[in-house]
């Protein structure tokens, strides 16, 4: 369930994703928690940019404790608008990722806001811009 009262205490995150190079490598996602000194970067080869953006969102939802509330900022207008039901999801892979995010929110009883921010303000994007060799590798799921 998404509840959006502005007065709730919130954990604040920035998320970002990067799509694969032509050889299928180099994709991954990251999040930064702004109210604490926490960050995560994951490398998952073979993702499109939009899949990587959704994986960043899902990573935050998995990290959150049940009953938590959070505001998640992304520079992906597509993820923001699809999450907030303002844009349709035509791609079946993205539809599955959005459903996974919604299932996590429902099962963990999370209160989540997703907001768009400009790329230059996204601290997770700056984290992704660092050397990919320090990213933790994962296999595509």
Is residue 137 included in any domain, yes or no?
no
Q: What is the CATH number of the domain that holds 98?
A: 3.30.420.10
pLDDT digit string (tens) for 33-92? 999 989 999 999 999 999 999 999 999 999 999 999 999 999 999 999 999 999 999 999
Q: Which domain holds residue 72?
A: 11-130
Is residue 141 included in any domain, yes or no?
no
pLDDT band (50, 70, 90) for residue 133: low
Alpha-carbon gap, residue 104 to 122, rounded angstroms: 24
Report the domain count for the chain: 1
Alpha-carbon gap, residue 78 to 106, rounded angstroms: 22
């Amino acid at each position: 369930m998404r509840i959006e009262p502005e007065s709730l205490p919130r954990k604040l995150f920035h998320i970002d994703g990067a799509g694969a190079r032509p050889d299928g490598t180099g994709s991954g996602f990251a999040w930064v928690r702004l109210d604490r000194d926490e960050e995560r970067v994951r490398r998952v080869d073979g993702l499109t940019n939009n899949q990587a953006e959704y994986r960043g969102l899902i990573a935050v939802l998995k990290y959150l404790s049940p009953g938590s509330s959070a505001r998640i900022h992304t520079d992906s207008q597509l993820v923001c608008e699809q999450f907030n039901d303002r844009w349709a999801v035509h791609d079946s892979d993205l539809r599955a990722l959005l459903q996974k995010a919604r299932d996590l929110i429902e099962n963990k009883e999370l209160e989540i806001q997703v907001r768009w921010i400009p790329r230059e303000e996204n601290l997770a994007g700056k984290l992704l811009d660092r050397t990919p060799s320090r990213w933790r590798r994962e296999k595509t799921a």
